[in-house]
Amino acid sequence: MNNSTQETQTDSREQKIAMVAITLHGTDLLKKLAKDFAQADIFIPEKFSSLADAYPDSNKPKIIDVPIKSLMATLFAQYDQLVFVFSIGAAVRLMAPFLKSKREDPGVVVIDDCGKFVVPVLSGHIGGANAFASDISQSLGAVTVFTTASESRQTLPVDILGRELGWVVEAPHSNQVKVAAHVVNDEPIAFIQEAGSKNWWPQGKKLPDNIHLFEHFSDCDLSSFSAVLWVTHKDVPETLWTTLAERLIVYRPPVAGTVND
């Protein structure tokens, strides 16, 4: 395949996580997360260093003795997921000089000082911030605030669909952007599944009305749909990518007999 790209996702258990607080209450809040996310590096201000004794012995916090602004370059370079317990506005201003793209930036999650709301702010899909925010909310008993369209509208996240099943997305970035827009705008979408697990949609949850299922590519009248999501092991002819222009996304599930298939 010449004009498409493949993307794989990193298992959250393998990711490097940093959690940063700058206030008294934020420092106290991170004690809970330090226990539930033992692999995370916790950063707290020097002025609240006395609170470090209350943290679990297995995950004592690191003390910040420089302005948080000075720490940002290191955080962006060394971690896959960042958690900030301060305002979104402050997070955005601090992050701005280091932003590159959703394929390079870490996932960023912001938590309010009282631990009531958890907001994935950056790299929600490919970076995994949305899923990570849900895990944090479960730990804190908080509400996750999604602003990405597929989560807020409870429809298909085309760029990470089937990730937990080992599916690999095969499509140019422009296709993913255009198809995602068709999906969230409730346009008719053909979902053709010729391979892979059927457990790509939550059991008992109604599939959006604009998603139409097919078992074989030959069963689908392409002219009737704004976009096509095709789960297959078959080779995709270059002519088909051209014919469907930016309307096609292909998903490659593991081959039969593997754990996820």
Segment 72-91, tens digit of pLDDT: 999 999 999 999 999 999 99
User: Residue 132 has which token pair?
Assistant: 């990570």
23 pLDDT more than 60? yes
- Total residues found in the chain within this entry: 261
Residue 26, pLDDT above cutoff 80: yes
Contacts of residue 139, defined as CB under 8 A and 6 or more positions apart, other chains included, come to 32, 33, 36, 37
pLDDT band at 164 (very low <50, low <70, confident <90, very high): confident
Residue 152: per-residue pLDDT: 62
For the CA atoms of 27, 44, 40, 132, the dihedral, rounded to the nearest 10 degrees, stands at 50
Q: What is the CATH number of domain 12-147?
A: 3.40.50.11220
Q: What does 181-232 look like in DSSP terms, one character per residue?
A: HHHHTT--EEEEESSS-STTS-TTSPPPTTEEEESSGGG--GGG-SEEEEE-
Strand-by-strand arrangement of the 81-85 sheet: 62-64, 41-45, 17-21, 81-85, 107-111, 117-122, 143-144
pLDDT of 5 strictly over 70: no
Q: Read off the pLDDT of residues 106-149 as tens digits, 9 standing for 90 and up.
A: 999 999 999 999 999 998 887 888 889 999 999 999 998 987 76
Quick check: do 12-147 and 156-252 share a fold?
no
**Which CATH code for domain 156-252?**
3.40.1390.40
Domain ranges of the chain: 12-147, 156-252
Long-range contacts of 56-64 (CB under 8 A, 24+ apart): 56/31, 59/34, 59/35, 61/27, 61/30, 61/34, 64/20
**Rounded Cα distance, 93 and 254, in Å:** 41
